Amino acid sequence: MSFFKKIFSKEKKETLDKGLEKTKSSFLDKLGKAVAGKSKVDDDVLDNLEEVLVSSDVGVDTTLKIIKRIEARVAKDKYLGTSELNVILREEIAGLLSETNTGDATKFDIPEQKEPYVIMVVGVNGVGKTTTIGKLAHQFKQAGKKVVLGAADTFRAAAIDQLQVWADRTEVPLVKQSMGSDPASVAFDTLESAVTQGADVVIIDTAGRLHNKVNLMNELTKVKRVMQKVIPNTPDEVLLVLDGSTGQNAFEQAKQFTAATEVTSLAVTKLDGTAKGGVVIGISDQFKIPVKYIGVGEGIEDLQVFNKHEFVDSFFN
């Protein structure tokens, strides 16, 4: 069907397929066992399918939503065969993803505007936040954009040093201060520098601490407020980076950060090393925030724009 037409280049699609291989193999293996010996989709098959989805880190609420939709289809067709279950699941998951991920991105791009497009990146330490920023900088630069980075995670010296490594690697300027400096001050300087340089994209790193939600909320609010002194109504995007390999823990992180600030997009990393790729489906559905990027490998090119068509195709193919 046309929904699943190929969009990515062959090379990008192969990278995506390879990155989701563990998830796909685990899921399809469990699905095969769930329908073994059955010719018709009945209550037993649906119970088994529910267990498959939950164990694949799709999440309980999203799983129940999918099961309910399949039950409705079974009610219409009393003789729905298990051989059709793969196709039905594919369609229902694609439909869920379409509710939140309305765009069909195939490349790294930003809206055309006079001021620099500002992305504030949030997420706990260890999820691949700095690496994601570096890979984003590379991709935007490859797309012909002028990029400036800001090291506003001033609570860890390592965070500043790691971002400097990526700035050097991608050959983009980094605005930084010493460890312990005011994060809002770094963000302010970054935007002033970006405006002076005529930058297209600004990516601001922020501290990944969750031990005190109130402090985190106050800090992120202050960073936003100070940045708006340079460019009104900024940031254009608040990107939450989540580690897909942590499964249900990623749900908890999303809950904490969406409570602390207005998150507008998601990047789910480390999908290549896990069988928990179903977490992308659950998080997108439960938080109603579009997944914008996924990490499917360690290479600098292995951060991809999230395209629901290609994701579902790789998940089930």
What pLDDT score was predicted for residue 79? 60
Mean of the per-residue pLDDT values of the chain: 88
**Structure confidence by residue, pLDDT tens digits, 112-148:** 888 999 999 999 888 999 999 999 999 999 999 999 9
Query: Rounded CA gap, 306 and 309, in Å?
Result: 9
Query: Rounded CA gap, 185 and 176, in Å?
Result: 10
Q: Which DSSP string do the residues of 118-131 spell out, in sequence order?
A: EEEEE--TTSSHHH
Predicted confidence band of residue 210 (pLDDT cuts 50, 70, 90): low
Site of tokens 């490998």: 297
**Structure confidence by residue, pLDDT tens digits, 47-62:** 999 999 998 899 999 9
Across the chain, how many H-helices and E-strands are there?
A: 12, 8
Average of per-residue pLDDT across 248-261: 88
Residue 20 is given by DSSP the state: T
**Structure confidence by residue, pLDDT tens digits, 55-83:** 889 999 999 999 999 888 888 876 667 77
Average of per-residue pLDDT across 176-189: 95
Average of per-residue pLDDT across 240-264: 90
> Which domains does the chain show, CATH number per domain?
7-100 (1.20.120.140), 117-307 (3.40.50.300)
Question: What's the CA angle centered on 131, arms 166 and 138, to 5 degrees?
Answer: 55
**Dihedrals phi, psi of 40, to nearest 5 degrees:** -125, 145
Of 282, 283, 311, give the one whose Cα is nearest residue 295.
311
Q: How far apart are the first and last CA of the chain?
A: 13
**What percent of the chain lies above the pLDDT cut of 90?**
49
Range 55-85 burial, b when 16+ CB lie within 10 A, else e: bbbbbeebbebbbebbeeebeeeeebebeeb
